[in-house]
Structures are given as structure tokens and as C-alpha cells.
Structure 1
Amino acid sequence: MNELQITELNGQRVLTTQQIADGYGTTNKVISNNFNNNRTRFEEGKHFVLLVGEYLKEFLHSQNLGTQNKIRKLYLWTEKGALLHAKSLGTDEAWDMYDILVDTYFKVQEEKQAPLTLDQQIAAIATGYGSVKEELVEVKDRVSDLEENAPLSAGEYNYIGSRINQRVAEVARGYGKITREQRGKLFKDINQGVKVVTGVSTRTQLRAKHFDTVVDFTNNWEPSTATKMQLRQMSFDFEA
């Protein structure tokens, strides 16, 4: 279990189908069949996330799996998704491994602070750090920070991807018929812009505080001058 590679999406730990199959002592095909046979029980965004297209490409890159070009879609399973598979399979091995996953892989380690000594408590009160008012301010700041840095929900993440696809299509129509390579230049340009305005290196690192910024940027995005020149030059080369 210690050798299980950590897989994360939007800051949350998930498992690939292969990881679940290996852990539960079965095969990818069995896990896929189990999903298909119990499809109504699995809810996207709650039990799994399906990555395709640009989302998949970015995820593979973030996991250093960019060379796996043959992958066209990828299911990532949450803790609740892993539980449903364990329930559906019903084997002792699946249940044993699920318990291990809950206790180790999915468990969030909370910071534990040693209790103050009596002298430390008196000193804290004397200097004002032990006041209720300051404790409340500290808690409020922590809550605000947690809210801003919370991972995007599956719905928000998918909306951003969908809006980026729509905006690229809108801009592409202004160039008439374009090639797949030209469209790729547009996607590269807008994705680079998202990284610049948010300060993240991949889309999977976006947080709740970035959502409005990304949507506003996408709605107003236009290709850079350099990208426009590339598209025109590629059109000339194509016509020639």
C-alpha cells in the first residue's frame, strides 16, 4: 500500500481504474463491467470524474503521463466511488483493501498542536494572544482561506473547460475554415492566458478563488498578435 502512487485532481485524491483493479485483486475489465452493470448507482462528480480531450491531456501531463497518447478517456474514482466498487464486488479482498484506502490513502492528516503549559497559557493571556476576540479573528481568517483555496467542484471545472471550447470555436469561426493544427494554436494561446491570470501551471491546479477570473478572462479572450500572425502564415502555407 505504501507504494501506491498518489493521484490527485483539483487537490483531491482519486484512484484510476488500474489502481482500483490492482488494489481489489482483479482486472480493469472487471471494474469496467462492474461500473456498467451498476451504472445507475454511480453519479458523476460524486463517485467518479470522466476526463476527455483537453482535460485529459492536461491531467496526463500533470501526472507525468503525457506520452500515453493512446488514452482517449480516463475514469478517476473518488473515495465514495471506491466504496461502491467494493460493495458491488463484495469480495473479502476488496473490502480489506477499501479499509486500507480509507485509513491511509484518503485520510486527511490534520495538524496536531501540543497543548500549552500553564506558564504558556498565562503568558498568552498576558500578551493578549489568548483573547477570545483574536481567536475569533484567526478562525475567520482560516475559514476564508479554506474557502478561497478549496478545489473547484466537478461542475465548475467542467464549465470552465466547456466555456474555453466554446470561446475557441467562436474565435475560430472568424478565420473561416481552419486546420486542426491552427485550432491547437488557439487552445494553446487561451490556456496560456489562463495560466498567466491565475498563476497556476496546469488547469487542474485551479481553485475556487480563480473561477470568476477564469470565466471573465475566457469571455473576453482574443488571440495574441503572435498567434494571429501564426494562423495567417499557416493559412498561406496551406493555400500554397
Structure 2
Amino acid sequence: MNQLQPISQEGKRVLTTIQLAESFGTDAKIINRNFQRNADRYEQGKHFFALSGEDLREFKGSRQFDDSLKFTSILYLWTEKGAWLHAKSLNTDQAWDAYEMLVDEYYTIKENVVPLSKDQALVTVLRTTADLVEDTQTLKAEQQEIRKLMHEIDHKVEEQITLTSGEQRRLQKGIAQKVYEVESDPKVRPGLFRELHREIKDRFGVASYKDVKRKELQSALRYIENWIPRKVS
């Protein structure tokens, strides 16, 4: 999936029809047709935003889009729940896989913050200080205290650091492999994805699989490998 330019409307991440169609491996006309056929299921503000008139001109003026939107009189912006309805209408493996990816990597806004960066900076300062006083007999006791504190902070960093982006991808791949291994019906898979994600969050006490601790990665992978969905357990 190509890198998507983030778009927000009323505090929610959204996608244009063209972006959604490209992500799902289909055509914008099909997205529009499915919407028209099932319009009673879509709620503005919940599943989509429809921009026209001054709102649309202001929206276009603040962003650089391709020429295909130049003469658009109504622009539809799809929320995460709207994307789910479109994935359900298309009901293809590519659409469901793309939807899972969008939920994890686009609709869920999460800042990439280095865990305990201040503590790690303090560790560096303490190491430098310890080296400076190493040969000073009168400061041996202080050196010992500094190294003790340095060890405690290093341990704290190790205990709290979460998965890197590569490790997150590894865990996500393991989840997908397990779901496809236990279920061949594409209509059933989305429920199994949600079930396994929920059980990982419960098992490791995190809000998202991305928050699993690095030291628990192998344990999480083994848990996924041995996982049995409730319906066949």
C-alpha cells in the first residue's frame, strides 16, 4: 500500500474515494456505486463527510490533490467505519486485508515516541560523569552510587521499551498467517482478526499489539502460533 497523505476532518482521519479505491484494489466508480446502492446504511459524520460549496473550496485550497478532483462538486471523505462498510460491500481478500492495514497504520493516530528518552539521556550523562571520577579516590563512593543509579535506569528502559516498526510488522504477519491458516472463509476472517487482536491485548495487558514489550516479542509470537479461535476450540 502506498504511503497515504494524512487527511483529517472534524478530528477524524478520513480518506477520499480515490484513496479508498486504490487501497482496496478497485475503482472509484465501484465505491460510488456501492454507496448509492446502500445509502441508507451510511450516516454522515459517522461513516463519511460530504463537502460542497465553500467547505469544498476551502478544503481543496488547503491541500494539493490530483486533477481528477479539480471539477468535483461533492467530495466524499470516508471514516474508518465508512471504510469498513465498503470492505463489507466488496468482500474481497484484498479489501479486508487493506482495511486491517488502514486501521493499524492510518486511521489509528499514534505518535512514534522513543520510550524514556529523557532517562536514556540521563544514562549518557551519568556514564560520562562516572568516567570523569573513575580515578579520583575521594569520589569512589559517589561513583558507586552513580553506577547503581545508571543500572536502575537501564533496567527501567529495558522493561518499558516497546516493539520497533519492524517487530510490529513481524507480529502482524504472524497474526495474518494464523488467521489464514485456521480459516479459509474470507467472510469469517475479519472476526478472527478482531478476536486474536483482543486476546493479545488481554494476554499482554496492552491497548494495542504495537505496545507489546520488546522483551515479550517471542512470547507473543508463540502465543499466536498456538492460538485456537473460540469457535473451533
User: What range describes the TM-score normalised by the shorter chain of this pair?
Assistant: 0.3 to 0.5
Scaled by the length of structure 2, what TM-score is found? 0.46
TM-score (normalised: structure 1): 0.45
